[in-house]
Amino acid sequence: MMEWIKQPWPWYFSGPLIGLVVPALLLLGNKAFGISSSLRHICAACLPANISFFKYDWRNESWNLFFVAGITLGGFIATFWLSNPGAVAINHATTALLQKQGVTDFSGLLPHDIFSFGALLTLRGFVFIVVGGFLVGFGTRYAGGCTSGHAIMGISSLQWPSLVATCCFMAGGFVMAWLILPYLLAL
């Protein structure tokens, strides 16, 4: 049983499982699925500054903080007790393409050539980690939610802004992967 849990699950099993979270949250508690709003709740709870954005009753959304704590705990358990000891399966064409760009270490979930503390001190690492992190945070706030919130919750509840945001996320991902990433890897 444990060996089955440690293997990557196929999309046709894990996708519907994730998709069923949305109706379960709506039916059981009239709650909307989303992760990015939890940072706002944490800031409102821990830093009660005189900022209008954080002046609301965050206690009504405290269930979200337990949800995020469960995700964090689940990630910890999965990493230290349930992880597959083998290398992450990456398409050979993708590996060859990245190796041409100087990315050679595929021993972890992320390439250590780019995402490590040592790489942070290089221009390429700084751009990927710091600038990329800022852009993700800015985009999440600007779009009014993250990709999972819009794509899973927003589209399933037939929200037009979520469909537009998800289409823009996908277009931005394609532009990044095919047009911008080769230049960033050359840094």
Total domains present in the chain:
2
Chosen domain end from 86, 108, 137:
86
CB atoms within 10 A of CB 20: 10
Mean pLDDT, range 68-77, rounded to an integer: 91
pTM of the predicted structure, to 2 decimals: 0.72
pLDDT band at 184 (very low <50, low <70, confident <90, very high): confident
**Who has greater pLDDT, 169 or 36?**
169
Report residue 45 CA to chain centroid gap. Answer: 23
Mean pLDDT, range 40-52, rounded to an integer: 81
Chosen domain end from 86, 113, 137:
86
User: How far apart are the C-alpha atoms of 159 and 151, rounded to whole Å?
Assistant: 10
User: How far apart are the C-alpha atoms of 34 and 31, rounded to whole Å?
Assistant: 9
Q: Is the confidence at residue 155, as pLDDT, over 90?
A: no
186 Cβ contact partners less than 8 Å away, ≥ 6 residues apart: 101, 102
**Who has greater pLDDT, 160 or 40?**
160
Which tokens hold the place of 27? Answer: 């039916």
User: How far apart are the C-alpha atoms of 152 and 135, rounded to whole Å?
Assistant: 21
Is there a single domain that holds both residue 38 and residue 57? yes
Q: Are 30 and 157 in contact (CB under 8 A)?
A: no
**pLDDT above 70 coverage of the chain, percent:** 99
Is there a single domain that holds both residue 109 and residue 34? no
Is there a single domain that holds both residue 73 and residue 117? no
Q: Is the confidence at residue 164, as pLDDT, over 90?
A: yes
Which tokens hold the place of 76? Answer: 């910890």
Range of the domain at 15: 1-86
**Residue recorded with tokens 């399966």:** 89
User: How far apart are the C-alpha atoms of 122 and 127, rounded to whole Å?
Assistant: 9
pLDDT band at 64 (very low <50, low <70, confident <90, very high): confident
Q: Is the confidence at residue 49, as pLDDT, over 80?
A: no
